[in-house]
Homo-oligomer: A and B are copies of this chain.
């Protein structure tokens, strides 16, 4: 037992009416929990029972990090791991600009600030453009953590629902325009999309360009999946949209591109000098992005094209196995995505949250089961996506085949099947 001093007992005695503790913030109460993490305890229990859980719930690829990046870390000869410049190493920014230019994306090094992951890039973007109570419009379903960054920055997310029947194409621009108020500061897209895998056509981006220009809004585009486009589809960057240089803010990251999610290196990119000067002040306050990880990320720019060719070919196979497999299960519908490594499928179930939990808690097929992310966490509108789940096809092809089989068998016996 801990011993308290006599003076402290005296103090307690004097303050007996003060036993309450300070309260956390409203912001903390409002802050959403990760929709995926809610299922983690059930997955852990399934694992403890000896079940083989196919993790389709998280975008952590099994693809190896390029050797050039790993070797750069191993061969590092720094004796002191020093801060970098708050905007990131100049050499990295220069070489990153060259990567964009080679990819046909209109970016120079002065348009780039290196951040701690895409997460920090979006936070800097939100903080630089939005005040408490301001609104950002986001087509839903959208990457669930956008909610977290919005709450942290004090702004409100206004969703516009995309439909699974249309493969999650951009909702009609008139629907988006209806949501614009005097508080609207930005439209946010993810292209290619997490969780939908949808790749916006040039015409859709031009519709967005017209509307942000008409209403003086910012257009944020999270383009971290740019290298993952399939069947000859070409990604169009918002940086190339004509005449809206001052409106556009691009978010990027090395996490998925080089399968180095743990490096936490991303960037915020814009030609709007005011936005970049603001982002720089937030960047200065946190001193610098991680040094070793920048060294690895700069080296990763030398990854040969063959690496991406192999990775894309692998993901096409995986997508085909998953999407065709799902669509072959009676009652399941899954649009075929052109990018990223996710798909959202609609299941013939009462409630996908229950279904996903039941898969982990009650079901197994030959000693295995599947973990998916219920889509409810990716919608901001209550009740939307109730029958849908997001699947990350980041496992090897045999595992994906087995996972599809699991789902097929599960739907035969799930009590909430409709």
A-side residues, CB < 8 A to B, are: 2, 4-5, 8, 11-12, 15, 18, 20-29, 31-34, 37, 60-65, 69-70, 73-76, 78-84, 86, 116-117, 119-120, 123, 127-132, 134, 145, 147-149, 152, 154, 185-186, 210, 212-214, 216-218, 242-243, 246-247, 259-264, 272, 274-275, 278, 281-282, 284-293, 296
Contact = CB atoms under 8 A, between A and B. Distances in A.
Given A20-B216, A81-B259, A154-B132, A278 B25 contact: yes
Nearest to A264: B290
A2 B147 CA distance: 37
A289 B261 contact: no
6 tightest CB-CB pairs across the interface, nearest first?
A148-B285, A262-B291, A28-B278, A21-B246, A81-B260, A119-B286
B64 A82 contact: no
Contacts of A289: 264
Contacts of A60: 82-83
A263 B290 contact: yes
A210 B145 CA distance: 39
B64 A11 contact: no
Nearest to A258: B81
Given A73-B74, A82-B261, A82-B262, 20 more contacts: A4-B242, A5-B242, A11-B213, A12-B243, A18-B213, A27-B127, A28-B127, A28-B129, A28-B278, A31-B285, A32-B281, A34-B281, A37-B86, A64-B80, A70-B81, A81-B262, A81-B263, A145-B285, A262-B291, A264-B288
A63 B76 contact: no
B242 A8 contact: yes
Contact of A128 (B25, B80, B284): B25
B119 A285 contact: yes
A33 B281 contact: yes
Contacts of A246: 21-22
A116 B290 contact: yes
A183 to B, nearest CB: 12
Contact of A130 (B4, B25, B263): B25
18 contacts: A4-B242, A18-B214, A18-B216, A20-B216, A25-B127, A27-B130, A65-B79, A69-B81, A80-B259, A83-B261, A116-B264, A117-B287, A123-B286, A132-B132, A132-B154, A152-B285, A262-B288, A292-B292
